[in-house]
Every structure is written in C-alpha cells, then in structure tokens.
Chain A
Amino acid sequence: MKNLFLTLAFVLGAASSFASDSTEEAVALERTCVPTTLSCGIEGWSCGDTTTEILENAIAADEALCP
C-alpha cells in the first residue's frame, strides 16, 4: 500500500498546486483541463470535474495510445 501512495505522490506531486478552500468551493463545478504528457511522449489535455476523472481520462488515453 505504501508503494501505491508513493506512485500517486509521484504522479500528482511533481507539479501540484493547492488552491485555498474558498477557491475550491467557488469553482468546484467547473470542468478543469490539465496539460498531460503520456508515457510515450504524446502530449495533450486531460479534462474532468474531479481529480479522479482527470486521472482516469489520462490513464485511459495512455493505455489506448501508448500500449
């Protein structure tokens, strides 16, 4: 389990920025798009309403485009 969280920290941690609580509430329903680099170098934008959704879209793209 420790390894899982280390991987997660690596994926998200390198370039994460934490907004303040009040900002999060104000924009909670906005769809966010994040510049994303896939494992084979392909670049694009991954979008979603939550961190899970953005990650799932990026992972799905990685699995489909970088087998």
Chain B
Amino acid sequence: MVQKFIFTLIFLASIIANAQKKYSIQHKFTYKLTYQPDSTDVHTKQSEDMFLLTNEDLSIFQSKNGYIKDSLLLAIENKPAQEINMLDISRFPKTQFHFKILKEKSEDSITVYDKIYTDNFQYKESNNNIKWEITSETLSINGLKCQKATAYYAGRNYEAWFSNEIPISDGPYKFSGLPGLIIKISDLKNHYVFELIAKSDKNLSYSSLKPRRNLFITTKSIYFDRLKDYKKNIVERIAQSGFTINDEYKEEVKQKLKKRNNPIELKN
C-alpha cells in the first residue's frame, strides 16, 4: 500500500516536473525563411522569421510567430469560453510552420514536435540522417567568413554556408553537424531558403516546448501518413476539430489548398 502510494507520488511529481520543464537559453538566432508553397508558381513565395534558441546542451528551433502565439495562449489558459461572443482573428500572429525541433547534444536523435491541425505529435529522428560534404569554397555573408557544404535530405539537395566564427554546430530546421553555425541554407530550387538575419546573447527562459493539449507520441512515417490523410479531407477534418466553415466558402477553400503542394520534406 505504502509502495503504491510512493509510486503514485513519484509518478505525479514526474508529470508536474515534466509539464513545468524550463530551458535556460543563452543565444537566440533569428533566421528568415523564404519558401514557395506552390512548386509551379514562383509568385507564391512567402517568408517567415524563425528562432534557433541554444544553450550548451541543446537547441530548439521554431517559428517566431509560433513562439509569440504560445505565449499569448498561455496567458489566457483555461479562461471560461463564455467570455467571448465573437472573434476577429486577423491580428493574431500566425505561422505555416508548427514544428518545434529539439536537438540535445546528449542524444543521438532529434525530437520533433509538430501539429496536424490541432492534434499534436512527437516523433524522433536520427541526427545522422544528413551526410554533409564539405567543400573548399568560401564566401563572406554579412561579414562572416563562410564555407560551403552540401547534403541531400528528405527529397531535396541542399547547399549550406557555415561559419567557424560562430563555433556552434547547429543550424535551422533539422540541419546541424557542421563545424560552425549554418548562416544560410537553401535547396537547389530555392523553394526553401533559411538566412541568418539576427543574433542575440540575451538570456531567456523557454517553457513552451510541449503542447498543452493531447500529445501523440509516434514515428516519423506514421506522422507523415496522418498528414497525407489530413490533406485529403482537410475541410471535413477542420469541421470535426471545432471550426465549421460556412457553405459559401467551401469551394474557394478547396481550390486554395490545391496550391499548397510543396512541403519542405518531399520524402520521409
């Protein structure tokens, strides 16, 4: 009985500790991601700022607007729904990239938190998936001496420029493992281009890695299977989750979604 009680106590304590886990961040690197959602139309290019937050042991990569959005939602968590009677969502920060990528130096895999609509997923991926080929070519980018490396990852060939002047073996998205920070990386079609635009050494505390709602721990291939299913039935899936589109907009929505055919990972 006592043993059961102690076990329950430890279990509850571990849940609480996990839920409240905070990371102390030493460096914040801001990348501008320019991407082309429709592979057939260069005019669809958009951009979004992304954060790479690092300390000596780990890094977290996520979109800037996702980071702001998490902070806003945390501020109103569990307020009763009756306090709203109409919503205009136009000023709320939004992102097209919901992933949060955790790279820990002590682990040989990276942990990816991602979303399919409002469902949260977590999967792990080996951090040896990217085999870099370092060349002797150099270039100065924003005053930093950079060296070129190339790699293939998830259906795209990439060209990266890293700098020994920032001796952090990390970079945007899932990219890391070069002898210096990746300053710029793009696939050869320029459909996804990450460029370092700012860095700051201000200390900050980060606590919103794990999602508040249900988390499905799965594999990368199951996650991408679910994503494929979602894309086939997107309007219906959105309705099931709690947003009903008025009928007159449904056809417009379906046409619009057809133009989003160029994810960063083409193969997994």
Q: In the assembly, what is the distance between CA of A38 and CA of B252, in Å?
A: 14
Contact A39/B80 with A4-B75, A44-B244 known, Cβ cut-off 8 Å:
no
A24-67 interface code vs B (CB 8 A; 1 in, 0 out): 10011011111111110011111111111111111111111111
Cβ contact within 8 Å between A7 and B256: no
Q: In the assembly, what is the distance between CA of A8 and CA of B75, in Å?
A: 9
Stretch at the interface among B85-93, B128-136, B138-146, B157-165: B85-93
Q: Is B245 an interface residue (CB 8 A)?
A: yes
Complex interface: chain B residues within 8 A of A31 (CB): 81
Q: Is B124 an interface residue (CB 8 A)?
A: no
Within 3-35 of A, Cβ neighbours of B (below 8 Å) are at 4-5, 7-8, 10-12, 14-19, 23-24, 27-28, 30-35
Question: What distance in Å separates the Cβ of B49 from its nearest Cβ neighbour in chain A?
Answer: 15
Tell me which of A17, A18, A43 contacts B249 (CB under 8 A): A43
Q: In the assembly, what is the distance between CA of A39 and CA of B93, in Å?
A: 11
Q: In the assembly, what is the distance between CA of A18 and CA of B81, in Å?
A: 10
Contact A65/B89 with A46-B243, A50-B79, A50-B81 known, Cβ cut-off 8 Å:
no
Cβ contact within 8 Å between A52 and B79: yes
Cβ contact within 8 Å between A57 and B82: no
Q: In the assembly, what is the distance between CA of A8 and CA of B71, in Å?
A: 10
Cβ contact within 8 Å between B243 and A51: no
Cβ contact within 8 Å between A53 and B242: yes
* CB-nearest residue of chain A to B97: A63
Cβ contact within 8 Å between A24 and B75: no
* CB-nearest residue of chain A to B118: A60
Name which of B90, B115, B212, B238 has the most chain A CB atoms within 10 A of its CB. B90
Contact A48/B91 with A57-B243, A64-B238, A65-B256 known, Cβ cut-off 8 Å:
no
Contact A4/B118 with A42-B253, A46-B242, A61-B243 known, Cβ cut-off 8 Å:
no
Tell me which of B71, B81, B92, B249 contacts A48 (CB under 8 A): B81
Complex interface: chain A residues within 8 A of B252 (CB): 42
Q: In the assembly, what is the distance between CA of A44 and CA of B98, in Å?
A: 23
Complex interface: chain A residues within 8 A of B213 (CB): 56
Tell me which of B76, B89, B115 contacts A52 (CB under 8 A): B76
Cβ contact within 8 Å between A62 and B85: no
Q: In the assembly, what is the distance between CA of A19 and CA of B94, in Å?
A: 29
Contact A32/B82 with A55-B73, A65-B253, A65-B256 known, Cβ cut-off 8 Å:
yes
Q: Is B69 an interface residue (CB 8 A)?
A: yes
Cβ contact within 8 Å between B73 and A7: no
Q: Is B105 an interface residue (CB 8 A)?
A: no
On A, residues with C-beta under 8 Å from B are 1, 4-5, 7-8, 10-12, 14-19, 23-24, 27-28, 30-39, 42-67
- Given A4-B75, A14-B88, A66-B94, 19 other A-B residues pairs in contact with their CB atoms under 8 A: A1-B71, A4-B72, A7-B91, A7-B93, A15-B84, A15-B88, A16-B84, A24-B80, A39-B94, A44-B245, A44-B249, A47-B242, A48-B242, A52-B77, A53-B81, A56-B73, A62-B89, A67-B46, A67-B260
